[in-house]
Structures are given as C-alpha cells and as structure tokens.
Amino acid sequence: MDAAAALRAAVQEYERTDNVGVLFDRVRAVAAAVAPAGLKEACAPFRDLPEVIIPAYERIVAQVPDDAQALVVLANAYWLTGRGPDVVGDLASRAIAADADNRGAWHLWALAESDIRERVGRWQEVATRFPEDQLARAAMADNATSLASAEHDPLALDLAIRTYEGLLAESTAGAQRSALESTLKTLRGWKL
C-alpha cells in the first residue's frame, strides 16, 4: 500500500465532502495496514490536520506505547480538538516517562494543568529544566500574570515581572522588545 497516496486521497475526499467519519475510517484502514514508521512518514504532510493525525497516531501509540514523540503528537492533536486536560496530561506524562528530555511533552504537561497556581508551578519546573526555553518562560510569566490578577498575588506578580525582564534582556527583535516593555510598564503599575 502507498500510505501517502491513500492518505492524500482520503484528505481530498474529506475536503470535498466534509465527512469526518469517512476520513477517520479511511485513515484507520491505512493505519492498520502500515508499520508505525511508514505511517509517521505518510502523515507528515498532514501534521496540521488533527482529523488525520488522531486516528493515525492512536494506532502508532497503541503499537509503540513508549514512543515519546508519537505520544506528544497525539496529545497535541487532542489538545487542539478540545479533548481536555486529563487525556492530554496523561499522554504528556507518559511521554516524559519515555523521554525526560522531550520538551514538547513537558510543555503539554504544563499546559494541561487546569489549576492556575499549579500550572504556574509546572511552568516553573519546565523553565528550570530547560533554562534556554524562552517559550516556557513566557508561558510561566503569562500564567503568573493571570494568577496575580485573579488572586491579587504579589509573589506571582513579582515572578511575572522578573521573568519578563529576563526575556527583555535576551530579546533582539524590535517588535518583541516593544511588547515586553509595554507589558512590563503595565505590570509595574499594578497595585495589588
């Protein structure tokens, strides 16, 4: 079977008919007939289509349950389609257990926490584990800002300000610097 051609045909039909059930059935049929490595390769052009990724990667994860990257891809597709933090968090935790250096797994693990205070703590853990990860630090600062606003928490506000200051010190892009300076000006004016 030419898995890439079969997926392409399934997606083209889906684009014409908008019938997600038929698409899922066709992707599952391809997934059942192709080894995980070949299926990953065939899915690559459709990485932005959760309708393809979910049924394909459900099969991959079932066949290779300790493939951290496959777990992350499936968790991300679930997140994008609103599957919820419990399912995403479980897959992210499994990916971390399989490969503790997979930053995508850590990001999804932090993102999946529903309690804002706990989510800030998770982002702190990610930022500590990967100190060069500006996205993790920005997410930590954003969540700390939300916590400070919602709970009038001066420690969260201080964390947000310190983190944004660190990001500003590293920034070289004009638009990014301007956005960070504006954010810091606003946060420094808050009275909690």
Cα–Cα distance between 69 and 181 in angstroms, integer? 36
Last residue of a domain, one of 54, 77, 112: 112
CB 78 within 8 A of CB 102: no
On whether the CB atoms of residues 53 and 46 are closer than 8 A, the answer is yes
What span, in angstroms and rounded, lies between the C-alpha atoms of 11 and 26?
A: 9
What is the per-residue pLDDT for 192?
A: 80
Task: Single out the residue in 78, 93, 112 at which a domain terminates.
Answer: 112
pLDDT of residue 1: 80
Residue ranges making up the domain that contains 8 = 1-63
**Burial degree of 148 (CB within 10 A; 0-12, 13-18, 19+):** buried
Between the two ends of the chain, the Cα-to-Cα distance in Å is 63
Q: Tell me: do 88 and 143 sit in the same domain.
A: no
Amino acid 153: pLDDT = 97
- Say yes or no: 15 and 87 in one domain: no
Residues in the chain with pLDDT values less than 50: none
Considering 78, 112, 146, which residue would you say is the last residue of a domain?
112
Q: Are residues 97 and 127 in the same domain?
A: no
User: Whole-structure pTM over 0.75, yes or no?
Assistant: yes
The pLDDT value recorded for residue 140 is 98
